[in-house]
Every structure is written in structure tokens, then in C-alpha cells.
Structure 1
Amino acid sequence: MYPGQVKIIAERNAPRLNYTAGLILGDILGLDWEIITDLNDRGDYPLINYSSILVPGSFKIQPFPLLFEYGIRPVEISVSDWNGLPVIFHSTSDSDIPFDIFASSFYLVSRYEEYLEYQPDKHGRFAGSSSIAYRNGFLTIPVVDLWAKAFADLLSAKYPWLVFRKREYKALLTIDSDQPFAYKGKGLLRTMGGLVHDIAVWPRNSFERLRVLSGKSSDPFAVYDYIISNIEETSSDAKFFFPAGKLSDYDRNPSWKNQEYRNLIRETGEKYVAGLHPSYYASENSQVFRTEKDRLQSVLGREINISRFHFIRFKLPGSYKMLIDEGISEDHSMGYPDEPGFRAGIAGPFMFYDLEEEKTSGLKVVPFQVMDATLYQYRQLDPDLAEELILKLISETRKAGGLFVSLWHNTSLQDKPEWQGWRRLFEKMLKIQQT
């Protein structure tokens, strides 16, 4: 008996099947696995029969064609319930599981639907509300992990000696510093322009601006001491993302040459992992991306290999191919700006599969489940309702033994009356996610 190894019999060994077997059997369930095309290679191992042939004693999964295809085509999706879980790509009655877990998982994790024709939002993004998961009510559960857990239970019933990995729940806080300062670090022209605008439109802001610039008050966006003290108090894992692009309608960060901003980046980067927050247009322009990456590397004095796109604005597969070409090995953009939940259906990192080139890439994708702006800007929630949603996502991630990732902005944590509820939620989330 081999307690940690299985074999898969398939009519042929395809790249998509290899990728998905590695994800489900290897990464999630912790098994060693091998795909075979000849039953003479079976040996005494438990056998998953992913073919149309009859193999007595095997665990039968009737394959949906998706994993043996090349290219992209519209796929009809029908969702049904199985033991309280939504499932797609249903199997035949002679299967030991009523749906093709491999094809279903691949469809979600590869983001197959994002390669198809869709109606983009005003920023050119694939909206969460357009996704199959949202439209069928399962965006807020990590179905791939839960499918894998149910699959393991069925395999155990057939092969009781199999031993599966016990996955450990973890949490990660990520901070996007779109605007590190409200008033500082702007340069003379931007500062004077901002002051004139404040006097004309927001007179109260002009007094605050002058007090900050004269050193009599702290900058309201510069709340990094508060963020870091909460990280340290709860022993949380955290990563920070800093922009280094030019000023635009969607990019309001200081110049990368500004000394106060450089000091902030360096001081934060000495304690925590610091990555690039590419500008609005960098997701579609490799030269812009490269310039911004070089700038941030020069400030930190080291190579950068992680990033998250500003506005969560990216398009598959082009944006991810650019990251790989530019030396990025880990991306944190896999989440929706308009809806919380599991964009790829999974509560943990995975390797990006390129559907155009039909191969597993070297880019590690770390999905996030919730962003602060999603809650108060898109969903228009108050902190109490936002807390309920965050607690549900943490609970679902715990059940999956996954990685709960939240995305916060320093601007959401200002020490002002209108932001106190969000501060309390931030503090409570850090404590709950760690216990």
C-alpha cells in the first residue's frame, strides 16, 4: 500500500490535466500522483479513472472534454447542488463523483471565462458581477477547495489507507499606498494648485493643508505607524505595495524622487515585503511598467518580484505575460474591485496557467478575498455590515484551510471621525483572522 500516492489513467496526457492534477492532488491534497495512459503501468496504486474505459476497482470520473482541448471556446455552464455544494460539468451515472472536479476546477482557476468575450466595466476590467460564480451565488465560497475536500472523503472511502495533507489556515494583510500623503510630497506646483483649489472649493481643507505643511499637524493619510503597530500587536503577516508612476487622472502618488516618500518606502521595506503598485496604464504598457519597477528598485536597493495592479486593472493573459517578462514572480491582483469573494474559486496561491500558450507559467498568483473600497465604495456598506461579510469570508477560508488575504488602503484608516468605524473594523479583523 502507498499511503500518499495515486495514479490517474487517461486516454492521453494533456497539459491542462497535468496542471489540474498538480493543483488538486498535489497542492491541495498533498498526494504524489502520476498520469498514465497504459493500465500496465498501474502497479498497486489507487487509480483514478479519468477516461471512458471500464477499469474495475478504480475511482471513476467521467471526463468533460475541456482538459483535452486546445484554445478557447464558449462553454455551456449548468450549476446544480451536490451535498450543499454548487457543481458544474456533471458526470455520468457510473461515475464515483457526480461532476468532473478536474475540469470544473480548471475552468475557475485558469479564469477561462475571462478569455471569452465579455462586457468590460468603465476601466476595461472583467467585473465580479459578470462572473459565473457571482451569477450563481457561490462567489463567497472557495468551491475548488471544498470540492477537493469532498473528493478526498470519497477517495478515502474507496482507499482507506490514503493519507491527505492537513492544510493550515493562514492570513495575510496587504496595504496599497495609492496616496501615501494627502498634502506632503507633492512638489511646489501641485501644492500651490491644491491650495488654490481648497480655498475655492473646500476652505476647511486649506487650513488643514497649511497646518500639515507647516509641521503643526500630521498628514491625515500618513497612518503607517498606526498600521504597523496593529500588525505588530497581532503578529500579522503583511505586505505593502508602493507606486512609482507619473501623475495622471488615476494616479495621485508623489514623485519617486521625493525624499519623504523615499524614506517611507525604505523604512517600510526594511520591516516588511514591499512590492510594486503599477500605475493605471502600466498593465498594458511594458515600458511604463519597467520604468516604474526600476524606480522602486532603486529606492529599495534590491530586486522587486511582487506586484499588484492599481485599480485591479489587468487583462488575461496579456498583463500576466508582461509580469513574467519583466521579472515578476508573484502577483496579488486576483480579486474583484466590485465584489468580495474568491475570483478564482480558490482560497490559496496557485500558478498561472496560460491558456494561449497552453502551459503552466512561473507566475504565482495570490488571490485576495476582500478590499476595503469594495465594501464602502462599490457595495455602499457601513462598517457593521462590512464586518459580517469579512467574518464570513474568514470563516469560509478557515474551513478550506486556505489563505485569507485582505486589501486595505492607508487612506481608509485616517484618524478622523468619519473613518473611525473602519479603523475599528480593521483592528477587529486583524485580531479575528489571527485567532
Structure 2
Amino acid sequence: MLLIYSHQITNRLAYVTKQIFGGILGVDTAMTTKIEDFIKHSGPKITYTKQPLQNEFFIRSNDLLFEQGINDLDILVSDWEGVPCFFATDEKSAIPYDIFSASFFLLSRYEEYLPHVKDSVGRYPAKESLAFRSNFLELPVVDLWAHKLFSLLKDRFPQIQSKRKKYTFTSIVNVTASHCYAHRGLMRTLGGYLLDFSKLRFRRMAKRTAVLFRLSKDPYDNFQRLVEIHKKYKVKSMFFFQFAEYSAHDKNISPNNNRFKYLIKSIADYSIVSLSTSFLSSTDKMVLKEEKRGLGNLIHRPIKYARLRYNRVNVPVTYRTLIESEFTNDFSMGYTHQIGFRAGTCTPFHFYDISLESKQPLRVHPFAIHDYALLNYKNSNEVFDKTDTLFRSLKKVNGEFVVIFSNELLGGKHKMPWISLYENLIKRYHV
């Protein structure tokens, strides 16, 4: 067991050390504020405070983990043997940066509490983040720091034990529009024809007609193919269905449509099915609970996982809403149009509410790739050049590689063959 001494054990410190040593490294730890207990301990131990006690493994602490609330921090990002890092220490410290404070800053999404301008749908913009501005968004730096720390501890304490997690791959299919033309009702279908006609989209009108008369398959209806791909490679998959009424931002099939219900139930026979929240329900707890209840009643299983519309995480309010609605896991922590790690990690972690200064029961699963972030690439070779680099970083730290694709994009017309790219991506990284 690793013993950590500090002059004060705060919720922040307990939270981040538990995540680094327990969640990422699989190392058993205990904490103490008693110097005599620390000195008597014969196993691996760390001092985390302002000054070392003796000649122990010492990490000089920043003030961040001993504060409360939010302060405007002056952060300088430097290099730690090829890995970006911040909150520099001094020459007495066994490592040159306070990675506990740096990890807390990223995991808690500290910067998202600070004043910022949201994008058109109310999201925290990637370009506002420290990771984007300092060019480490595509690195799971928290995991890299943890592994570097463990290597140094192993040199100092050869007896230290680690039960490290294994690399995993999870494919998520986000279904906010299960069909492009089918099952949309008379008024929405007529409206679609009128809109296409007004914009002279005659090919789209012909395609709509062919689908409605069952002469052609709906382009978004690729669910059977997706299930076959997942079964072929034995990959962990999850389908998140929107189960909401029509609105300006939510245009899926009506949750009262029997064919839509049958589709969801049939997918639930092969894969985990859970809720993709509507734009309205991400801010309205009563609507969210109704969507959750409706989907749960349909598949006769508890709905514990959530994905927020547009990845619209507004900390801490959005996560409080999920917790109050009895969700246990969220899969929205990432950027829709940027590859990388919004919270600096590829390991699931519990949400820490800075306003309440406490760890919350909601488990956050960060994703690395959203399919819309791949739209700017010219071909699949460019895509895999980028994703191979990401994969190597994830494998190095035995991370969780979560990718999100929508049936809508997979079934649409684009410059790349998306279904083939999706299958090749799974084949490449699911091992």
C-alpha cells in the first residue's frame, strides 16, 4: 500500500489521488496527516506538501487542491520529458510538476467554470480550452503523467504493486435521426417535399418518394449492417436513441411510432441501448425523466447511461440534472468537432462538483473521436494517420478508446465511404 502524507486532506486531494492511483494505476493508497504514522510506514510513501519531512519521495504541492471555489489561474505549460505539463514545482521535488493539481484542473473541468463565450448551441468551445491552446488536446496527459509518476515510484520502491487496467475499445452509435424519410408522419413528409421543391432538390424528392413507396431503403436505416459489424469483430457497442417529441433541435421519429419502437427493441437484443437526451431535456429535469421513463418502459431495462444532445455539457448544472434523474454514467465528455480529450484523460472518472466541493456519483466516460470531427479529412488514409497516433497514445496507458458515430452520418452522402471507414476503424482498434 502507498501512503500519502499531506498537511491537509481535502476533498480535492482525496478525489484526484484516488483517480490517479486507483482509477488509472490500480495502486492501493491511504492518506495521513500524522507525521509519526508516515515515518513508521515501511512501504512506499509520498509526501505532498510544501516542504519535505526527510529524504522521502516528495512532491511539492501547488495551492489549488487546498483552495475552495474558482480563481483565475495563471498557467504556464512546459515540457516534462516530451509530455506537456503545468504547475511547476522546485528542485526539492521528485518530479518537476504538481501533477495532482494539474490533473484536478483538467478532470474537474475547472476552466469551464470560468467566464467564456459559448458556441451557437450553448457548448464550451474547444478553442477556449488550455489543451487546445497549448497543443495537447490529442494527448491523454493525465494518464501519461500517472504512468511517468509510477515509473519513478517503481525505481524508488521496487515492491510497489499495480493492478493496471487493460486497453478497451467501445463503439457508440448515436441515433438522433433514425430515418431520413420514413416514419415521419404526413405533415412532416409534406413539409419535407415543400422544402425540397423550394430549394429545387429534385433528386432528394425522388429519393424520398422511392423510400415512401418502399422501392428503396431509407439511407439512415443501416442498423442491421452496424449490428453485423459489431458481431463480426466482437466489439463492445452501445446505441443511444433519442426518445423525444419533435422540436427545432430534435427531429427524430415520434416515440409513439410503432416501427420506431420495434427498431429500438430489436437493437436492444444485441447491444446496450440507452438515452440520447433531447435539446430541451438537457436543461429540463422533468422532460428528461419522462424521456428516461419512456425508453426504460419500452425495453424493460433500467436506463442508466446518457448522452447529451450536441455533447452540450454545461458544468456543473447539466451533470447535476443527470444525477437528480438517476443516471449513473455519461458519455458526452468530448468535443464534437475536435479529436482529443476534453478532460485530458482516456480513463472513466467521477464528476467532481467544484461548487459543492465533492465527488459526485456520476461516472464520466470521455470519448476521443466524434465522427463529425473527421469531416474535414480528404480520405480514409488521412483519417487513419490521425487516429493511429491517437491509438498509440491510448495503448501506451491502457486507456479506454471510445468513438462516437451517428447512423445519420454513416448513411449520408459524403466524400468518404463512411460505413467502410467505420468497419475498418473497428477492425483496426478493437483488439
Q: For the superposition of Structure 1 and Structure 2, which TM-score range results when normalised by the shorter chain?
A: over 0.9
Q: 2:387 aligned with 1:390, yes or no?
A: yes
Contact 2:62 2:98 in 1 (8 A): yes
The aligned residue for residue 69 of structure 1 is 67
* Structure 1 length-normalised TM: 0.95
- Cα distance change, pair 278–219 in 1 and its aligned pair in 2 (3 A): same
Q: How does 1:156-167 map to 2 (within 5 A)?
A: 156-167=154-165
Could you tell me how far apart the structure 2 residues matched to 1:105 and 1:386 are? Answer: 29
Identity %: 33
Question: Which segments of 5 or more consecutive residues in structure 1 lack a partner in the other structure?
Answer: none
| d(CA) in 2 for partners of 1:422, 1:278 | 25
Q: Deviations over 1:387-431 (max 9, x none)?
A: 222222222111110000000001122275x46522222111000
CA contact (8 A) 1:110 1:352 kept: yes
Contact in 2 for aligned 1:26/1:32 (Cα 8 Å): yes
Shift of 1:381: 4.8
Gaps of 5+ in 2: none
Letter in 2 for 1:410: N
Contact 1:173 1:236 in 2 (8 A): yes
Return 399-408 or 53-62, whichever deviates more: 53-62
On the 8 A contact 1:46/1:58 being kept in 2, the answer is no
- Count of aligned residue pairs for this structure pair: 428
Among candidates 397, 407, 410, match of residue 404 of structure 2: 407
Q: Note if contact 1:412-1:419 (Cα within 8 Å) is conserved in structure 2.
A: no
1:195 corresponding residue in structure 2: 193
Q: Is the 8 A contact 2:378 2:415 kept in 1?
A: no
User: C-alpha displacement at 1:252, in angstroms?
Assistant: 1.1
Deviations 1:239-292 (A, max 9, x none): 010011221222110100001110111111122111111111222111221221
Q: TM-score, normalised by structure 2?
A: 0.96
The one-letter code matched in structure 2 to 1:112 is: Y
Q: 2:395 and 2:294 mapped to 1: Cα distance? A: 38
- Alignment deviations for residues 92-139 of structure 1 (CA, whole Å, 9 cap, x no partner): 110000001111111111111011111211111111111100100100
Query: Partners in 1 of 2:182 and 2:280 — Cα distance?
Result: 24
In 2: Cα distance, 1:219 partner to 1:423 partner = 15
Give secondary structure in 2 for the equivalent of 1:284: coil
Amino acid at match of 2:236: D
Post-superposition Cα deviations, 1:297-323, rounded to whole Å, max 9, x if no partner, equal: 222222201010011112000000000
CA distance in 1, matches of 2:249, 2:217: 25
Q: Do structure 1's residue 290 and structure 2's residue 286 form an aligned pair?
A: no
Are the aligned partners of 2:44 and 2:157 in contact in 1 as well (CA < 8 Å)? Answer: yes
The match for 2:324 is: 325
Of the three residues 411, 420, 423, the one matched with 1:424 is 420
Q: Does 1:227 align with 2:220?
A: no
1:9-24 to structure 2, matched below 5 A, reads: 9-24=5-20
Pairwise CA RMSD of aligned residues?
A: 1.4
Q: Is the 8 A contact 1:108 1:345 kept in 2?
A: yes
Instruction: Provide the C-alpha distance between the structure 1 equivalents of 2:153 and 2:33, rounded to a whole number of angstroms.
Output: 21
> Residue type matched to 2:35 in 1?
L
Q: Deviation at 1:45?
A: 2.4
